[in-house]
């Protein structure tokens, strides 16, 4: 059910039912002030009627007096919270989305008209609050202990033996729960109202994430029931449902951003945002499983604790189960392993807890682990997983790449949640479809790829993958060049612009510190940057508005941008992100023409006369500089003070004809910077030793290339000798 209002209301003539409702609400507000006991039952009946079948034929807000507005706001809060509970916790909605949206919109309008009616537990507060400069540290009501984890059945048997030995005549019943792979949190309620939430942190002190937690719809802002403790601290797990994780990653990939590695990282990252508006509306949920502290007596068993949590309206997983023997525990473990792929959230094991709370006290705790509980983990998923979706990622040069979004899987100790399909031809060759089980490898031990589809006889497969006819972000038309699909919307596409900003700021290009993926994404999303020239118009206060940027960090980014106003021609050409123009081609073009003005005047025929510049590169370069929008942006960059240095004349390239290879780590250069120095002086830099190699430059831990060089008679020089050679 969407929780952002989508129905625009206009004042309506009150119906008889509506007038009766408002009269009763006004009486309700007054009688609460008078505390007239004989009205109480009638008021509760009115609220219950309003909960179950709310009338949305509202009276004009301007015609309400203060008592009527207060009564209606109270009824709306009660009703919306009631239907939130039905939808998110009970999974049994009773009213339509449209009616729900009308109720929420009416409450927002009432609170806008009467700000004193706005309460901290109002459903309108889930949309996010003003950003904070940092997350404050808070001390927990009770330690949030971590669980000892095992993969061995013998450790489970030892827990049972300890419990039976300590039990004397008490029960040794156990409660079994799924082990959620999410973010553990403490949530505190004061007089039944949400007061505060915090991350686990070190178990005793966590970070205050109250504003972000309030945006999670499965977390009730008000508890249910008549007998509520004055203060209640409970423990829960914030997680991201798998379908929501797939949707969120689809949006990120299609817009050119890196996806989250797994649902846990996504949930943890969102919960620690400084600006809760960035969290509102994200697919997050919470399960509760423990009472940490409460005023008054606590239930004497864990099973009763779970029942009490449900009675208060706190969401508890239906997968919990009681057991009294290892055989029952083993059966539950095996059952959840089988159900793991069918659940809409990640679990990585089961939790075994002693049920009797008095027996827990007897068993006690270790330093950080309770001796009355244990996590029996599943064997990690390895190599094979499910394809949740196939989306199209937009590159900075307009190339569209199909990407498979995967159920997160461990491959060689790394969690993999996506794999490239390269292009439509490759996707069709492997015939990968949504819902397939596939084998994952990490090509070169780095890039995850789908090696093959695992056949599952008898299972109906999804539709064949087809590349879209339009860009998934900006709807620009797509053309085909060989195996690749490309579109030419250029800087008009937000996804392409994000990539261009990151590329423009990279170390090998304009080298702008602090301008990474997150900053580029926010600059485009917030409309602060619509093309590269806008970067140089940003003010410090623009950057302070970004999530995660305070005055000091915004100042650093602003200074870094303003300091990046000069570059040699080849670096600037590379920074522009022209299709097919990498480092080598940029140096060739810069060396041939010397200045940007001369290059901009060259047509395709002139460009193709340059050695190693084929028709494809010539066309891409000529078309880029012929584009009116691109020329306008280049003029704006010039007016902003950007200075493009000329390339050295060809006759002043002393390393022309010399070939260098680098091996090992250099202290004063990155590998790309060293290659750039060589190529700027006319030399070549290659990656392997051959008969044409003149110098092998040795850094730390050079490896086998040194032996190859000595065998072939290649001169080996260290970094100091390399620097002296450059200086000469």
For residue 277, give the CATH number of its domain: 3.30.470.30
251 & 353 share domain: yes
Which DSSP string corresponds to 547-602? TT--HHHHHHHHHHHHH--EEEHHHHHHHTT-TT--HHHHHHHHHHH-SHHHHHT-
Residue 348 has pLDDT above 50, yes or no: yes
Contacts of 251 (CB under 8 A, 6+ apart): none
Q: Is 536 annotated as a binding residue?
A: no
Tokens of 630: 């691109």
Average pLDDT over residues 407-429: 82
Give the chain's mean pLDDT. Answer: 83
CATH number of the domain within which 638 lies: 1.10.150.20
- Supply the pLDDT for residue 699: 87
Any idea which of 8-12, 20-24, 199-203, 519-523 has the lowest mean pLDDT? 8-12
* Residue predicted with more confidence, 727 or 685: 685
Locus of tokens 């991201």: 240
Is position 38 within any domain?
yes
Choose from 55-64, 282-291, 414-423, 585-594 the range with maximum mean pLDDT: 282-291
- Supply the pLDDT for residue 24: 45
What is the rounded distance in angstroms from the CA atom of residue 717 to the CA atom of residue 289?
A: 64
For residue 300, report the phi and psi dihedrals to the nearest 5 degrees. Answer: -85, 0
Q: Is 471 annotated as a binding residue?
A: yes
Is position 565 within any domain?
yes
110 & 173 share domain: no
In three-state secondary structure terms, 414 is strand
Q: Which one of the listed residues 102, 105, 179, 321 is annotated catalytic?
A: 179
- Supply the pLDDT for residue 406: 92
297 & 283 share domain: yes
C-alpha R_g of the chain: 32
What is the rounded distance in angstroms from the CA atom of residue 104 to the CA atom of residue 82?
A: 12
Tokens of 96: 């339509």
Q: Is 261 annotated as a binding residue?
A: no
Q: Is 99 annotated as a binding residue?
A: yes
- Supply the pLDDT for residue 7: 31
What is the rounded distance in angstroms from the CA atom of residue 166 to the CA atom of residue 422?
A: 60
- Supply the pLDDT for residue 612: 76
Q: Is 574 annotated as a binding residue?
A: no
Structural domain ending residue among the three candidates 92, 127, 162 = 127
* pLDDT band, residue 330 (cuts 50/70/90): very high
Tokens of 317: 């997983």
Average pLDDT over residues 201-229: 91
* Domain span including residue 698: 651-727
Is position 481 within any domain?
no
* pLDDT band, residue 413 (cuts 50/70/90): low
Helix axes 16-34, 66-84, angle to 10 degrees: 100
Q: Is 102 annotated as a binding residue?
A: no
Q: Is 658 annotated as a binding residue?
A: no
58 contacts 106 by C-beta, under 8 angstroms:
yes
- Supply the pLDDT for residue 438: 92
Q: Is 26 annotated as a binding residue?
A: no
* pLDDT band, residue 507 (cuts 50/70/90): confident
pLDDT digits over 11-69, tens only? 333 333 343 444 444 444 444 444 444 444 544 555 555 566 677 778 888 888 888 88
- Supply the pLDDT for residue 18: 40
Tokens of 157: 């048997």
Q: Is 30 annotated as a binding residue?
A: no
Q: Is 31 annotated as a binding residue?
A: no
- Supply the pLDDT for residue 4: 37
- Supply the pLDDT for residue 293: 93
> Measured on CA atoms in the order 478, 481, 486, 488, is the torsion positive or negative?
negative
Average pLDDT over residues 688-707: 86
* Residue predicted with more confidence, 665 or 178: 178
Residue 426 has pLDDT above 50, yes or no: yes
Is position 305 within any domain?
yes
Is position 4 within any domain?
no
> E strands, 280-428, where?
285-294, 321-323, 347-354, 373-377, 384-394, 399-411, 414-420
206 & 75 share domain: no
Structural domain ending residue among the three candidates 415, 443, 474 = 474
Q: Is 358 annotated as a binding residue?
A: no
What is the rounded distance in angstroms from the CA atom of residue 354 to the CA atom of residue 366?
A: 15
Identify the DSSP state of 434: T
* H helix or E strand, kind and range, residue 136: none
Tokens of 126: 């889930």
- Supply the pLDDT for residue 45: 54
- Angstrom distances, CA of residue 8 to CA of 4, 11, 51, 65, 107: 12, 10, 21, 23, 13
Q: In what order do the strands lie in the sheet with 321-323?
A: 149-150, 373-377, 347-354, 174-180, 321-323
Is position 667 within any domain?
yes
Number of domains the chain contains: 5
Q: Is 101 annotated as a binding residue?
A: yes
22 & 100 share domain: yes
- Supply the pLDDT for residue 256: 74
Locus of tokens 């009213």: 95
Tokens of 243: 């379908």
61 & 167 share domain: no
103 & 245 share domain: no
* pLDDT band, residue 210 (cuts 50/70/90): very high
Length reported for the chain: 728
What is the rounded distance in angstroms from the CA atom of residue 515 to the CA atom of residue 494?
A: 17
Helix axes 66-84, 37-52, angle to 10 degrees: 50
Contacts made by residues 421-429, CB under 8 angstroms, sequence distance 24+: 421/390, 421/450, 421/465, 423/483, 423/484, 423/485, 424/465, 424/466, 424/467, 424/483, 424/485, 425/483, 426/483, 427/390, 427/402, 427/465, 428/464, 428/465
680 & 705 share domain: yes
- Supply the pLDDT for residue 53: 67
The reply to whether 179 belongs to the active site is yes
- Supply the pLDDT for residue 126: 73
294 & 192 share domain: yes
286 & 355 share domain: yes
265 & 335 share domain: yes
Which DSSP string corresponds to 216-252? -TTS-SB--SS---SEEEEEEEEE--HHHHHHHHHHH
Is position 67 within any domain?
yes
CATH number of the domain within which 721 lies: 3.40.50.10190
Is position 485 within any domain?
no
Tokens of 662: 């680098």
Structural domain ending residue among the three candidates 606, 625, 645 = 645
Choose from 11-25, 162-176, 332-346, 457-471 the range with maximum mean pLDDT: 332-346
* Residue predicted with more confidence, 677 or 51: 677
256 & 160 share domain: yes
- Supply the pLDDT for residue 9: 32
Q: Is 250 annotated as a binding residue?
A: no
Average pLDDT over residues 497-507: 88
């Amino acid at each position: 059910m969407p929780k952002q209002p989508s129905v625009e209301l206009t004042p309506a003539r009150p119906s008889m039912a509506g007038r009766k409702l408002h009269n009763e609400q006004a009486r309700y507000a007054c009688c609460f002030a008078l505390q007239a006991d004989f009205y109480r039952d009638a008021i509760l009946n009115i609220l219950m009627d309003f909960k179950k079948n709310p009338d949305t034929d509202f009276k004009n807000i301007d015609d309400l007096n203060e008592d009527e507005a207060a009564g209606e706001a109270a009824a709306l809060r009660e009703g919306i919270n009631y239907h939130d509970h039905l939808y998110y916790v009970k999974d049994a909605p009773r009213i339509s989305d449209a009616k729900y949206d009308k109720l929420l919109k009416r409450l927002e309008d009432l609170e806008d008209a009467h700000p004193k009616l706005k309460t901290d537990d109002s459903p309108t507060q889930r949309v996010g609050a003003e950003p904070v400069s940092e997350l404050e540290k808070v001390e927990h009501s009770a330690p949030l202990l971590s669980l000892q984890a095992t993969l061995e059945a013998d450790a489970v048997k030892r827990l049972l033996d300890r419990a039976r030995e300590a039990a004397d005549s008490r029960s040794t019943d156990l409660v079994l729960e799924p082990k959620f792979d999410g973010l553990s949190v403490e949530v505190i309620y004061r007089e039944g109202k949400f007061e505060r939430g915090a991350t686990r942190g070190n178990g005793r002190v966590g970070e205050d994430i109250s504003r972000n937690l309030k945006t999670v719809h499965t977390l009730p802002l008000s508890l249910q029931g008549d007998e509520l403790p004055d203060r209640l601290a409970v423990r829960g797990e914030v997680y991201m449902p798998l379908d929501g994780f797939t949707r969120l990653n689809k949006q990120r990939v299609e817009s050119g951003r890196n996806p989250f590695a797994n649902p846990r990282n996504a949930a943890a990252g969102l919960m620690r945002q400084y600006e809760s508006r960035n969290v509102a509306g994200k697919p997050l949920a919470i399960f509760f499983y423990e009472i940490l502290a409460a005023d008054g007596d606590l239930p004497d068993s864990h099973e009763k604790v779970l029942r009490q949590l449900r009675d208060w309206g706190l969401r508890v997983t239906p997968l919990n189960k009681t057991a009294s023997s290892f055989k029952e525990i083993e059966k539950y473990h095996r059952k959840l392993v089988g159900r793991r792929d069918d659940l809409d959230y990640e679990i990585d094991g089961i939790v075994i807890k002693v049920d009797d709370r008095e027996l827990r006290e007897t068993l006690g705790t270790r330093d950080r682990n309770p001796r009355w509980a244990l996590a029996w983990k599943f064997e990690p998923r390895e190599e094979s997983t499910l394809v949740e979706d196939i989306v199209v990622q937009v590159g900075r040069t307009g190339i569209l790449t199909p990407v498979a979004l995967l159920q997160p899987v461990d491959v060689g100790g790394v969690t993999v949640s996506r794999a490239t399909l390269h292009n439509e031809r490759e996707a069709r060759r492997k015939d990968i479809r949504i819902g397939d089980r596939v084998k994952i490898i990490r090509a070169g031990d780095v890039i995850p790829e789908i090696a093959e589809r695992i056949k599952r006889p008898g299972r109906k497969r999804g539709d064949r993958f087809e590349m879209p006819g339009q860009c998934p972000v900006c709807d620009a038309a797509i053309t085909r060049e060989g195996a690749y699909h490309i579109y030419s919307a250029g800087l008009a596409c937000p996804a392409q612009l994000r990539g261009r900003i990151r590329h423009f700021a990279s170390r090998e290009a304009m080298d702008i510190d602090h301008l990474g993926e997150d900053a580029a994404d926010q600059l485009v999303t917030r409309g602060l940057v619509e093309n590269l020239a806008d970067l140089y118009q940003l003010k410090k206060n623009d950057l302070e508005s970004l999530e995660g940027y305070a005055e000091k960090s915004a100042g650093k980014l602003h200074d870094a941008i303003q300091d990046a106003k000069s570059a040699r021609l080849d670096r600037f050409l590379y920074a522009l992100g022209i299709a097919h123009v990498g480092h080598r081609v940029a140096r060739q073009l810069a060396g041939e023409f010397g200045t940007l003005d001369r290059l901009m005047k060259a047509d395709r025929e002139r460009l193709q006369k340059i050695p190693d510049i084929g028709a494809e590169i010539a066309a891409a370069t000529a078309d880029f500089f012929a584009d009116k929008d691109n020329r306008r942006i280049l003029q704006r960059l010039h007016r902003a003070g950007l200075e493009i240095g000329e390339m050295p004349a060809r006759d002043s390239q002393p390393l022309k004809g010399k070939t260098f290879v680098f091996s090992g780590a250099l202290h004063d250069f990155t590998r790309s910077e060293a290659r750039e120095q060589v190529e700027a002086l006319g030399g070549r830099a290659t990656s392997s030793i051959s008969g044409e190699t003149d110098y092998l430059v040795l850094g730390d831990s050079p490896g086998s290339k040194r032996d190859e060089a000595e065998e072939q008679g290649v001169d080996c020089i260290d970094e100091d000798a390399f620097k002296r050679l450059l200086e000469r």
